[in-house]
Amino acid sequence: MITEETCPECGGRLLNEVICTYPPIPAKRCLKCGWSWEGKQEAVKTVRFDPPEEGDMKDITYCSNISCPFNDCDRHPKQLKGKAGIASFADFAGTCRRYISWLVDEVKEDQERG
């Protein structure tokens, strides 16, 4: 997810800038009213960018319902096994038809057993 900051004065979009000294100085500027902010010189950290490969994590929201029995579901957290990166989660238990019908069957069987 990409976070977009807004101006504390007018609510307009803020542009992130870097003042090119070394180490650089982070700065922000409002595109609407011209408000600006200047930070302190920040240390530079160099990291290698590894583009995601085919078969890596999909750009989807995974389901946080770990107890769901449907491992083959695209959103099941088990799909993330052996993969690295940042994934977003939401609880789809209340809206997933497959899970709800499974749950209903489980409850029915429970009641039939007494």
Q: Which is nearer to Zn ion, 35 or 70 (CB)?
A: 35
Residues binding Zn ion (CB under 5 A): 7, 9-10, 12, 30, 32-33, 35
Tokens of 15: 């542009």
Q: Which is nearer to Zn ion, 7 or 73 (CB)?
A: 7
Residue with tokens 């789809």: 92
* Closest CB 40 distance from Zn ion, rounded Å: 22
DSSP string over 53-81: PTTS--SSEEE--TT-S-TTSTT-GGGGT
* Closest CB 95 distance from Zn ion, rounded Å: 38
* Closest CB 28 distance from Zn ion, rounded Å: 10
Q: Which is nearer to Zn ion, 30 or 73 (CB)?
A: 30
Residue 87 in 3-state DSSP?
coil
Q: Which is nearer to Zn ion, 10 or 100 (CB)?
A: 10
* Closest CB 7 distance from Zn ion, rounded Å: 3
Q: Closest by alpha carbon to 105, among 64, 73, 75, 69?
A: 69
Task: Identify the H or E element spanning 32.
Answer: none
